Structure 1
């Protein structure tokens, strides 16, 4: 479609021009000739394109050439001030008003786009601005929650409406000129008024508050009463680096207390080579007492006479289990000596 070319009088805040821009084609449609003959009180010759153009331009440039595009029924006051009555007719009479959308023609194009452009009159623009400020903005602020920039956003919304309503230009097909009356006044036909209502009310934007902020609540895991404040409940105690390998039991204590070392030097060398970190003795040292039974070489079950001390874990004793393990004064590694003597 060809681009829309509008005169300077169609711009925002531009005053009405003294002459309407009319562009006709090389051939005049019969309906336009009949319309011009109908509205002219004085008979004028309409035998050529320039005569049609001159007659149409003078008619539409008249100060009385005002078109009624549509009529809006809007409330007279904010919602909190409207009158309540059981009769809906009384409510409509006292609470609503009609604003007639009046406009004048700024451009007629019958060559490129075959359209007519209308611009709202200053009185209509002022009425719509007053409605937007005194009623629409008040209702919008009452129906939305408060936030820090609410008043600023409402003023910005009103300023945007002022700019939009002054820029508003409605275009229709050139066949709308069939509704032309004397002195250039007219009214839209063929249901075009509904399109004007929707276009104008589309400029009345709602006041949109900002979306609520989503706050992520980070919950710390519960801490045990004995754990410090900055410690994690799943933290493991550090493993001492000095424990490089498990210590053999025969290096800690001899297998039988009754057996003495063959050489004092060898015993002293063993204890001298061991570091303090290699010695692991439970605290307190567990003491075991087994009563001796005369029935053969069998031992009775242990008698517990005191609370059970802290014993080392089985994983600590697992590497030491074998024939070298001694039990009280009887060593299983010397089993052959005991059997021969018996």
Structure 2
């Protein structure tokens, strides 16, 4: 890309130069010749490149050579002070104003970049600065929450706008000179006015408040099995798992090898003995449990629950109560043959 060649008059806060910098190519375009002949009241010879350059330079350097780049509708007052009226036409007349953004040409290049450079006039710059201070800054300050450096940020934003609007230079193609009028005035054509409007309105930046502070929340460390608290947790869970549902011990068969033979022999005895002749031990053995209807329903014991050790039939043989313990206990009396048979 070729370098951007701009004169010193295009710098920020620089006054307007008495002469415009015009650079033409070795061959003049026909449309430029027709434009210069149209705007000049006095007929001037335009037979060479130097004649075109001299005529264009004198025309654009005239104090009356002011171009209207765009027109922007701006508020007269902040939003809190706007007039409310049921008639929208009355509101528009009292609350808004049409600002014409004017500029003058500081540079014409038809060799490298084929562009025309415009710089805003002091009056247009002053109007935009006043609107930014009196309306834009007031609105953005009212629409954001307060913090300690709010006023400082608003002033800084306004100072940055002053610098940006004074540095603003709009570049257009050299074909924009077709809109040249008498005495060097002119107006942008082909929709360039909308582009200027968007570029200028892009300089009105919003006020960005600082993000809210994030409060650090101190959270306790996670409970791990290796920590003391975690060890207590695992102990509690193990205790809960080890609790088993109550199971009637009379439903559990003894693991004695003589279970089959004892149950076979006693089946005949139970058939011949009446229920009234059965004697209960006194006192009741400590390992006997009362009858409960909970045994009618199946309850699956916990897998991790240990199986209690049950007394074997040989252990029950030492009880003096005989076979009567078979109904309330867990084993069979080995001395059932000593009892007389009841027919």
TM class by smaller structure: 0.5 to 0.7
Distance 2:212 2:232 in 1: 36
The answer to whether structure 1 residue 106 and structure 2 residue 142 are counterparts is no
The equivalent residue for 1:41 is 41
Structure 1 residues 27 and 150: alpha-carbon distance in aligned structure 2, compared to 1, 3 A threshold:
same
- For the residue of structure 2 that corresponds to 1:42, the secondary structure is coil
Structure-2 separation of matches of 1:214 and 1:61: 59
Residue 217 of structure 1 and its aligned partner are, at CA, apart by 2.6
Residue 141 of structure 2 aligns to a residue whose secondary structure is helix
Confirm whether residue 204 of structure 1 aligns to residue 198 of structure 2: no
In 1, the alpha carbon distance for the partners of 2:205 and 2:219 equals 42
The corresponding residue for 1:96 is 96
Would the alpha carbon gap of residues 61 and 87 (structure 1) be closer, same or farther in structure 2, given more than 3 Å must change?
same
* Residue of structure 1 in register with 2:321 after alignment: none
- Pick closer, same or farther for the CA change 1:209–1:48 going to 2, 3 Å: same
Take 2:76 and 2:230, find their aligned partners in 1: how far apart are those partners?
66
**Residues 311-335 of structure 1: per-residue CA shift (max 9 Å, x gap):** xxxxxxxxxxxxxxxxxxxxxxxxx
Q: How many residue pairs align between the two structures?
A: 272
Q: 1:198, CA displacement in angstroms? A: 0.0
Q: Secondary structure at the match of 1:94?
A: helix
Structure 1 residue 219 displacement after superposition: 5.0
5 Å matches for 1:43-58? 43-58=43-58
Aligned to 1:117: 117
* 1:2 partner SS: coil
Does residue 161 in structure 1 map to residue 154 in structure 2?
A: no
In structure 1, the partner of 2:85 is: 85
SS at match of 1:52: helix
TM-score with structure 1 setting the length:
0.66
Change in CA separation of 1:8 and 1:302 when aligned onto 2, cut-off 3 Å: farther
Q: TM-score, normalised by structure 2?
A: 0.66
* Partner Cα separation in structure 2 for residue 45 and residue 142 of structure 1: 61
How far, CA to CA, are the matches of 1:302 and 1:97 in structure 2? 110
**What does 1:272-291 align with in structure 2 at a 5 Å threshold?**
none
Are 1:75 and 2:61 matched, yes or no? no
1:175 aligns with 2:179: no
Change (3 A) 1:26 1:132: same
Segment drifting more, 16-25 vs 208-217? 208-217
Counterpart in the other structure of 1:189: 189
C-alpha separation in 1, matches of 2:219 and 2:84: 52
Structure 2: distance between partners of 1:112 and 1:21: 14
Residues 21, 220 of structure 1: CA spacing in aligned structure 2 closer, same or farther, 3 A cutoff? Answer: same
Structure 1 segments of 4 or more deviating over 3 A? 231-235, 300-304
Distance 1:17 1:40 in 2: 22
- Give the Cα–Cα distance (whole angstroms) in 1 for the partners of residues 283 and 145 of structure 2: 82
Give ranges in structure 1 of 5+ residues lacking alignment: 222-230, 236-299, 305-342
| Change in 2 beyond 3 A, CA 1:302/1:85 | same
**Partners of 1:177 and 1:167 in 2: how far apart?**
22
Alpha-carbon distance in 2 for matches of 1:55, 1:193: 26
Please report how far the alpha carbon of residue 211 of structure 1 lies from its aligned counterpart in structure 2 after TM superposition: 1.1
Say which SS state the counterpart of residue 126 (structure 2) adopts.
helix
Distance (Å, rounded) in 2 between the aligned partners of 1:138 and 1:234:
63
